[in-house]
Structure formats: C-alpha cells, structure tokens
C-alpha cells in the first residue's frame, strides 16, 4: 500500500492531493516501522528464533526481513531435504514432459512470499558474495536468461540456508570462491 501511495504521489499534481498522500505515506511508514519492531522483538525474545535468525543473516543478501519471512512462512527450513524444501518454496523445476516430448522446466506453486524474498536475497547475494557471483557468472556465460539465473541462484541460496539450519552452522565462503 505504501508503494502504491508513493507512485500515486509522483503522478499527482494538485497541492492538496499531494499533501494528503504525503500524510498517508507518513502514517504507513510509521506503521511499517512499528510492525518491523514487533517482529524483531518477537524474534529476539525467543532464543531459538534469535539463534536461527542470526545464523540466516550471516549469508549475504539475507537481512532481518528475509530471515523473519523464512522463520514465519517456512518453518520446515532445516527439517526437509533440499528437493522438498525447494518445492515448498516454489523454486523446484517442474517437468512439462509428455511421452517423447521434453518440455521446458518451470517453477510454480509453493509459497510465493518465500519465493519473492529469496529472489530478492539472491539478487543481492549474486552481486556481493563470491560464491553466488561465480554461480551467476557461470550460468550467464552458458547463455541463460537473467530471470532463470536469478531463480537458480535463489534455489541454490535456499539449499545453503536449509543446510545451515539443519547443521546449526553459520555461512562460510567457499574456499575456492
């Protein structure tokens, strides 16, 4: 809603309407800050959640919002194998084959909020973390479209996060990268 109002503000020219929209954006900003503070408090007051959130945030691209989303919307993280967790997040490739026809693999289903957060985290990680940069570079060099590359990076990121939670370890850069 805040994004919609910010867009509306850029498109509005009347001073009275702009003032109303600015005040609404300010109200929404305060509400967002309050909710984010409540989320942070919920996480920090629970030792298990706090430890898992801290661990998740050791990965480049994963901040408090992504960690909180994963904790809330993907409680199975660390409890399932990499294929099942990818399917739950909607990041598993789904075959579209029929008989002798080999169709294109696509992603679908799953938890859209988790998928969106992981996509954003993957974008950041593929820019600033050597491990994910190398993965992105390799796929791009193979001629893959950028959305396919970022989806594959989000899938890889989810696998890393799942393994970290399962083994109770922090993120470490790949010695080769």
pLDDT in tens, 98-138: 777 776 777 878 899 999 999 999 999 999 999 999 999 99
* Distance, C-alpha 16 to centroid of its chain: 38
Average pLDDT for the chain: 92
155 and 112, same structural domain?
Answer: yes
141 and 64, same structural domain?
Answer: yes
The answer to whether the predicted template modeling score (pTM) of the entire model surpasses 0.75 is: yes
109 and 27, same structural domain?
Answer: no
Domain limits for position 34: 1-45
Number of domains forming the structure of the chain: 2
63 and 40, same structural domain?
Answer: no
Looking at beta carbons, which pairs linking 130-139 to residues 24 or more positions away fall under 8 Å?
A: 130/173, 130/174, 130/177, 131/173, 131/174, 131/177, 132/60, 132/61, 132/156, 132/157, 133/177, 134/177
- State percent of the chain over pLDDT 70: 96
Kindly indicate the confidence band of residue 174, based on its pLDDT and cuts at 50, 70 and 90: low
pLDDT (0 to 100) of residue 177: 47
168 and 107, same structural domain?
Answer: yes
Cα–Cα nearest to 71, from 125, 109, 114, 115:
114
121 and 36, same structural domain?
Answer: no
60 and 16, same structural domain?
Answer: no
pLDDT (0 to 100) of residue 175: 54
């Amino acid at each position: 809603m805040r994004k919609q109002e910010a867009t509306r503000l850029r498109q509005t020219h009347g001073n009275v309407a702009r003032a109303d929209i600015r005040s609404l954006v300010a109200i929404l900003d305060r509400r967002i800050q309050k909710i984010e503070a409540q989320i942070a408090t919920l996480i920090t007051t629970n030792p298990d959640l706090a430890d898992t959130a801290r661990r998740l945030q050791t990965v480049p691209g994963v901040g408090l919002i992504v960690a909180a989303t994963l904790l809330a919307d993907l409680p199975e993280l660390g409890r399932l194998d990499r294929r099942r967790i990818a399917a739950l997040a909607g990041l598993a490739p789904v075959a579209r084959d029929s008989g002798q026809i080999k169709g294109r693999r696509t992603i679908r289903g799953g938890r859209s909020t988790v998928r969106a957060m992981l996509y954003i985290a993957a974008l950041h990680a593929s820019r600033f973390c050597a491990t994910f940069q190398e993965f992105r570079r390799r796929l791009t060099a193979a001629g893959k479209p950028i959305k396919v590359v970022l989806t594959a990076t989000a899938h890889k990121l989810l696998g890393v996060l799942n393994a970290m939670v399962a083994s109770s370890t922090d993120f470490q850069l790949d010695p080769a990268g």
